[in-house]
Amino acid sequence: CGVFGVVGVADASNFVALGLHALQHRGQEAGGIVSYDPAAGFQSARRFGYVRDNFTSQSVMETLPGELAIGHVRYSTSGAKGQTAIRDVQPFFGEFAMGGAAIAHNGNITNAVALRRELIERGSIFQSSSDSECIIHLMARSLQQNIPERMEDALRRVEGAFSIVAMTRTKLIGVRDPLGVRPLVLGKIGDGWALSSETCALDIIGAEFVREIKPGEMVVITADGVASHFPFRAQPSRFCIFEHVYFSRPDSILGGRSVYETREAIGRELAKESPVDADLVCPVPDSGTPAAIGFSLESGIPYAMGIIRNQYMGRTFIEPTEQIRNMGVRLKLNVNRALIKGKRVILVDDSVVRGTTSRKIKEMILDAGAAEVHFRIASPPTAWPCFYGVDTPQREKLLAATMSEEEMREHLQVDSLKFISLDGLYRAVGEAEGRNKKCPQYCDACFSGEYPVIPSDQVTQGFEM
Ligand code: 5GP
Ligand code: SF4
Ligand code: MG
């Protein structure tokens, strides 16, 4: 998901709509905005579909007045799968003794099932099926006298990944979980401030990137300034390494470097680790593009757009049902036949999950008359599900959970298949010494199976780590 918030500028909700539009790649199912204005009070609009289709009309935006607003774009990783209900669309709102608060959450709460059961037993009335709603109910039960402290209380009971943007009548609040699994950044716009999942959304509103919110940090922002606290026990950070590989937009800055440069470095590393004699390097667009450019630069094999993407389709993986996902590949990608015929082609993609995309693409490339097909993948084999906010399927559906690299090559029927090594990936994201095995610098659980936070609801339901 993507979260965004603004305080201290007129018509804040318009900036939030623009910010969410720049974060649309993080969630396409639905979006919502909450605003506050002293005369109008809290107002909200929650809609299915793209930001551009819902939050651009004057009739919607004029219902969201004020100098303080937050928003969310949703991609379901918890709650009812398949058909998102409007009641699951964030931001969520709660009315407390000291006033209202709205919150937007990116990440996944790994003890939400247990918390929900406990809260319901004690009388909470849940409105949605979302894990994030627990935070509102925990806040309602806190005895603290102000909303930021109630939020701290609530979040100390929550396990898992959270980057949160929240608001009261006067404050914009940002929080990252102690491991800092999901991103969150601070920006300055005129006399006001912005919080965003990624820097690309600061660019769109002309805000200046100030800094990343630190793992375990809570910032409470008014038009007067930013107050920072660290309410959780300090721990070594474990940012999601897959944000570098796939999730974040290439024009965002992560850890002081553009995601594009990191992906190019991943492609170079891949070319060093797994070279192959071929005529063309083609990306699987768009997610494989920067890595393919890196692979081409390192290997000296020409880069070509052998597959053309229809720009009007969303990200395949994010479509919630298998059937739509299966169709998705052909609706979205087409082979540039004239380029491919008779050529030995290296295809670079970011990841192999179920293997459906790779299989379809291989068929399309061979149909077009390619002489050889070599897959090079910019992440290690995805053998474990993510429980921290990326929607990987159950373990059984992951190709790498049941097959070796050679078995996957046979299954995909390609001439060769190579994944970047975990150490190679760490080097490419800037860790010269590779992965620190005792204390890995990132979360890489979907590749290593080493979960930095025990997914306790999953374990209760029989998941074997
Ligand atoms: P597959 O067809 O192997 O199941 O899907 C892999 C493709 O889905 C990759 O090319 C990747 O670009 C895309 N994708 C979209 N969303 C995600 C995600 O959340 N996780 C992963 N690993 N891949 C995703
Ligand atoms: Fe990111 Fe993978 Fe960790 Fe999930 S399991 S947070 S996708 S590195
Ligand atoms: Mg892809």
Tens digit of pLDDT for each residue in 214-223?
999 999 999 7
The CA distance from 86 to 55, in Å, is 16
Which atom of ligand 1 lies nearest, measured to the CA of 351?
9
Å from CA of 266 to ligand 3 middle: 15
Which atom of ligand 1 lies nearest, measured to the CA of 446?
22
463: helix, strand or coil: coil
- Report the run of H or E that residue 139 belongs to, with start and end: helix 133-141
The answer, yes or no, to whether residue 104 has pLDDT greater than 80, is yes
Tell me the chain's radius of gyration from C-alpha atoms. Answer: 22
Q: Which residue has the tokens 């709509």?
A: 17
Asked whether the bond before 286 is cis by omega within 30 degrees of 0, the reply is: yes
pLDDT tens-place string over residues 402-429:
999 999 999 999 999 999 999 999 999 9
Closest C-alpha to ligand 2, atom 2: 446
Amino acid 224: pLDDT: 81
Say if ligand 1 is within 6 A of residue 354 CB.
yes
Which residues, including other chains, have CB under 8 Å from residue 464's CB and lie 6 or more apart?
none
Q: Which residue has the tokens 């000291």?
A: 98
Which atom of ligand 2 lies nearest, measured to the CA of 182?
6
Question: Angle between the 322-332 and 356-367 helix axes, to the nearest 10 degrees?
Answer: 30
349 is known to lie in a ligand binding site:
yes
50: helix, strand or coil: coil
Which atom of ligand 2 lies nearest, measured to the CA of 387?
4
pLDDT category, 326, cuts 50, 70, 90?
A: low
**Which ligand is nearest to the Cα of residue 453, counting in written order?**
2
448 is known to lie in a ligand binding site:
no
pLDDT category, 65, cuts 50, 70, 90?
A: very high
287 is known to lie in a ligand binding site:
yes
The predicted model gives 292-300 an average pLDDT of 98
Pocket probe for ligand 1: among 351, 362, 363, the residue whose CB has the most ligand atoms within 8 Å is 351
pLDDT category, 79, cuts 50, 70, 90?
A: low
The answer, yes or no, to whether residue 440 has pLDDT greater than 80, is yes
Å from CA of 318 to ligand 1 middle: 8
200 is known to lie in a ligand binding site:
no
| DSSP character at residue 89 | P
Å from CA of 67 to ligand 3 middle: 38
Phi, psi of 432 (to 5 degrees): -55, -35
| DSSP character at residue 24 | G
- Ligand 2: residues with CB < 6 A are 181, 240-242, 386, 388, 390, 443-446
CATH class of 2-237: alpha beta
252 is known to lie in a ligand binding site:
no
Looking at this predicted complex, what is its ipTM?
A: 0.93
pLDDT category, 89, cuts 50, 70, 90?
A: very high
Phi, psi of 47 (to 5 degrees): -140, 150
The predicted model gives 42-55 an average pLDDT of 96
Q: Assign residue 228 a region: left if phi > 0, alpha if psi is -120 to 50, beta otherwise?
A: beta
Closest C-alpha to ligand 2, atom 6: 240
Question: Angle between the 356-367 and 405-412 helix axes, to the nearest 10 degrees?
Answer: 50
The CATH code that applies to domain 259-436 is 3.40.50.2020
Domain boundaries, the chain: 2-237, 259-436
Amino acid 320: pLDDT: 60
Closest C-alpha to ligand 1, atom 15: 317
Pocket probe for ligand 2: among 241, 244, 246, the residue whose CB has the most ligand atoms within 8 Å is 241
Burial of residue 187 (CB within 10 Å: 0-12, 13-18, 19+) is buried
Say if ligand 1 is within 6 A of residue 357 CB.
yes
Say if ligand 1 is within 6 A of residue 306 CB.
no
Which residues, including other chains, have CB under 8 Å from residue 386's CB and lie 6 or more apart?
77, 108, 242, 392, 445, 446
**Which ligand is nearest to the Cα of residue 244, counting in written order?**
2
Structural contact between residues 109 and 131, judged by C-beta atoms closer than 8 angstroms: yes
From 394, 407, 309, 402, select the one nearest 357 (Cα to Cα).
309
Structure tokens at 44: 């909200």
State in Å, rounded, how far the first CA of the chain is from the last one: 25
Structure tokens at 201: 């959304």
The answer, yes or no, to whether residue 315 has pLDDT greater than 60, is no
Which atom of ligand 1 lies nearest, measured to the CA of 352?
3
The predicted model gives 441-457 an average pLDDT of 97
Phi, psi of 41 (to 5 degrees): 75, -160
The CA distance from 344 to 372, in Å, is 4
**Which ligand is nearest to the Cα of residue 388, counting in written order?**
2
Å from CA of 29 to ligand 3 middle: 18
Which residues, including other chains, have CB under 8 Å from residue 48's CB and lie 6 or more apart?
29, 30, 84, 86, 89
pLDDT category, 379, cuts 50, 70, 90?
A: very high
443 is known to lie in a ligand binding site:
yes
Say if ligand 1 is within 6 A of residue 90 CB.
no
Say if ligand 1 is within 6 A of residue 299 CB.
no
Would residue 1 show up in a list of annotated catalytic residues for this protein? yes
